[in-house]
Copies of this chain bind each other. A is one copy, B any other.
Amino acid sequence: MAGNSFGTAFRFTTWGESHGPAIGAVVDGVPPRLPLTEADIQHFLDKRKPGQSRFTTQRREPDIVKIQSGVFEGLTTGTPISLVIENQDQRSKDYGDIAAKFRPGHADFTYQAKYGIRDYRGGGRSSARETASRVAAGAVARKVLGSGVTIRGALVQIGPHRIDRSRWDWDQIDANPFFCPDAGTASQWESYLDEVRKSGSSIGAVIEVVASGVPAGWGDPLYDKLDSDLARAMMTINAVKGVEIGDGFAAAELSGEDNADEMRADPAGGVRFLSNHAGGILGGISTGQDIVVRFAVKPTSSILSTRQTVDMNGNETEIVTKGRHDPCVGIRAVPVGEAMIACVLADHLMRHRAQCGG
């Protein structure tokens, strides 16, 4: 059933396959009179763009976005914004192997099981290429949120190697090819990932995204809670297997005393919390603190080792996935996670305004 849209008040719909002529998104419900240019969107696409270091896929895609509607004389008009990105590097090649066999860990088998057909070229619709459309939609969402809300993501773990949180420095994010906030860890990752890459293997990762400046009051309990929408959003991203808000799974080991974020009066008015175990959300509604979301990305299954599988006829066989792939898809998931969180927040800003004004 129709499932390629995300959001209610701020809603986007994506389309497109990895090796089709183009991919794109239609963003609907955007408030009018927001300044929006292709350059605003391109800025974020460039962060996600493949081929920027040896640690991401070598597919060459300029990922140039075009606005086809919904903007007039540099301002949004309130009508749908159609964004399109042409596919350019659909390297012509023989797809025979992946056409005939299911790659373990990929969606090949399930798409075939569901639809009885699949566009196997480059993974078709299930390719992470689609996430460029999300990043484009996320750039529009940031315009809706305005400059008061800051959304920043970081890679906090690759394989077994975690950052040292005491060295967290947002300024480091753009200083290494990993969106890593800890310079020391970044250089360790570099040699570690080189090893992974050279061996033709791949590895998982954990991303953390922080949204600052979200006022208290966003989120629609009980089934459109801010955190449930965030969890859903993260889990729609390719290869994501886990999501945490605030302390996440570590909260299971906390006592009620330790977990309760105590409150004090803020001299500047309002409330000040003494801690943020909740990750900025209580009862599905934002508290006004930083919103903290973490998600785990599995290693891509496109590796150079031979794996056992079956073919379209149900016969047992083996497969090696050659081609241009990310040794750690988690890296490029950082701007995608940011974009999805921006979309959830823009949606809830507008949903909140619908019911509660302001």
A32's nearest neighbour on chain B, judged by CB, is B115
Contact A217 B114 (CB under 8 A): yes
- In the complex, the chain B residue whose C-beta lies closest to that of A283 is B107
Decide if B357 touches A31 in the complex (CB within 8 Å).
yes
Contacts of A248 in B (CB 8 A): 241-242, 296
Check: A175 CB closer than 8 A to any chain B CB.
no
Q: Which of B7, B80, B81, B104 contacts A262 (CB 8 A)?
A: B104
Stretch from A37-45, A55-63, A118-126, A145-153 at the B interface: A118-126
Q: Are A102's CB and B257's CB within 8 A?
A: no
What mask results when residues 1 to 19 of chain A are scored 1 for a CB within 8 Å of chain B, else 0? 1111111111101111100
> A225: CB under 8 A from chain B?
yes
Q: Does A36 contact B (CB under 8 A)?
A: no
What B residues does A82 contact at CB under 8 A?
A: 15-16, 22, 24
Q: How far is the CB of A292 from chain B (nearest CB, A)?
A: 10
User: In the complex the two chains form, what is the Cα distance from A246 to B281 in whole Å?
Assistant: 25
| Distance, CA A218 to CA B3, complexed state (A) | 12
Binds B, one of A65-73, A166-174, A176-184: A65-73
Q: Does A96 contact B (CB under 8 A)?
A: no
A203 contacts which chain B residues (CB < 8 A)? 253-256
Residues 120-162 of A at the B interface (beta carbon under 8 Å):
124-126, 130, 157-160
Cβ-neighbour of A5 out of B28, B116, B158 (below 8 A): B28
For residue A206, CB closer than 8 A to chain B, the reply is: yes
- CB A175 to nearest CB in B, in angstroms, measures 23
Protomer copies: 4
A22 / chain B contacts, CB cutoff of 8 Å: 68-69, 82
Contact with B along A184-202 (1 / 0, CB 8 A): 0000000000001000011
Q: Which residue of B lies closest to A269 (CB)?
A: B314
Most chain B Cβ neighbours within 10 Å, of A82, A248, A255, A305: A82
| CB <8 Å contact, A202 and B235 | no
Query: Is A350 part of the binding interface, using a Cβ–Cβ cutoff of 8 Å?
Result: yes
Chain A 301-329 near chain B by CB (<8 Å), digits 1 or 0: 11101011110001110000000000000
Within 8 Å of chain B (Cβ to Cβ): is A278? yes
A220 in contact (CB, < 8 A): yes
Q: Which of A219, A278, A296, A315 has the most CB of B within 10 A?
A: A296
Q: Is the CB of B231 within 8 A of A282?
A: no
Distance in angstroms from A3 CB to nearest chain B CB is 3
* B253 and A204 form a contact (CB under 8 A): yes
Are B23 and A259 interface neighbours, CB within 8 A?
A: no
Q: Which residues of B contact A250 (CB under 8 A)?
A: 296
Q: Report Cα–Cα, A11/B3, bound state, in Å.
A: 9
A206 CA to B105 CA, complexed, in Å: 26
Enumerate chain B residues within 8 angstroms of A299, measured Cβ to Cβ. 251, 254-256, 259
Does any Cβ of B come within 8 Å of A100's Cβ? Answer: no
Question: In the bound complex, what is the Cα–Cα distance between A105 and B8 (angstroms)?
Answer: 28
- CB neighbours (8 Å) of A68 from chain B are 15-16, 20-22, 24
19 more A-B residue pairs beyond the given contacts A3-B223, A15-B79, with a C-beta to C-beta distance below 8 A? A3-B221, A3-B224, A13-B28, A15-B70, A17-B72, A22-B68, A22-B69, A33-B115, A78-B114, A79-B119, A104-B260, A104-B261, A106-B282, A110-B284, A126-B221, A203-B255, A204-B259, A249-B296, A265-B310
- 10 A-B interface contacts by CB (under 8 A): A1-B8, A2-B29, A4-B79, A4-B222, A109-B216, A231-B232, A241-B249, A242-B244, A256-B300, A260-B307
